[in-house]
Structure 1
C-alpha cells in the first residue's frame, strides 16, 4: 500500500473543513435548546487546542500515521487495541456523517428522490477520492479553506439584518451542566 504524506497544515485544513461541514449538516441541540449557540462556541474553543495538537503530532512524526503513533506510544497490545477502537469509531462516525448528509440533501433539495440514490452518489464520490488518495484531497482542501471560511463569514454578516436576537434570551436560561453536556457531545462527535 502506498504511504501518502500530508503536512500538519494540510491536516489542520482537513479538520477545519470537516468541522465546518459537520456544523452545517449536524448542528442542533437536544439538551441546550436556545442556548445551543453557547455550547457550540464552547466546543469550538475546546476543539482549537485539539486541532493544533493533531497538526503538531503530524509535523513531529513525519512518515508515521496515527496507528504507528498508537503502537510507539502505548506498546504493541494497547496500541493495537486503541487502533481497533479508533477504526470502529471512524467507521461509526463516517456512517453517521453519510446518513446526516443524505438526509439533509434529500429533505432540502430532493424531497421526492429516495435517500439511497443520494447515498449512491455520495459513496461514488468517496470511492473516487479514495482511489486518488489523501494527498490530492489535502491539497484541494488547503486551497479552498480560506474561501470557505470567507463565504461562511459573509453569510453571517449578510444575515444579520434578518436575525432576531431576542431568540437567544434569556441568556444562560439553561443550566451550565446542561450546556457543558451538549458541548462535550458536540466536541466528541467529530473526533
Structure 2
C-alpha cells in the first residue's frame, strides 16, 4: 500500500513539528476571517501567527530609526553598494511567491489540514527571511559606503516585499491557499487557521472560530 499523501509534503509528520494540535473548523473560509486586528484578540492559529508577524515586521522600522547612530558619514555612497540590494529584492520577488509548494491531492482531511498548517508556517517564515535579508543587507553596505541612504534604499526595497510576501492578511492567506491547492488538493487551510489550539487530547473538529 502506498504511503498516505501527507508523507509527500514534508519530512516531518504533522504531530512532529512541536506545534499545538488543532481541531480544524471544516467549512471555514476567508469570509469567516474577522479581520487582521480583530483576530489578535482570539486564540486561533491565525491570530497567534498574525501577532507574531506584527512583532517581526516592527523590528526593521526600529532599526531604521536608529540607523543614523550606527552609520557614520552622510556623503554619497558608491553606486555599486546599491546593486546587491536590487539583486536581493529581485530574488525575493521571484522566489518568495513559490512558497509553499503545492500539495498532492488526497489524504485524511484532518491530517492534510495539519500538514497545510505546517507548510503555511514554513512558507511565511521563508518569505519573511527573504524580504528581511534585503533590509538587513543595507546596514553593512551603508557602513561600507558611509551613507545611511544605502540602508534607506534597502528598507524601501525590502519593506514592501515584507508586507506583501509575509504578512498573513486575508489576501496573503488566500494566495498561499491557492498555491497549496494548485495541483487539485483541498488544503483545508482556513479550517486549520481558524481553529483554536487544543490542550490535551485532540477533540473533534467542527467548532466555531474564536
Instruction: Write 1 or 2 for the structure with the bigger share of helix.
Output: 1
In the superposition, the TM-score normalised over structure 2's length comes to 0.25
In the superposition, the TM-score normalised over structure 1's length comes to 0.27
**Higher alpha-carbon Rg:** 2
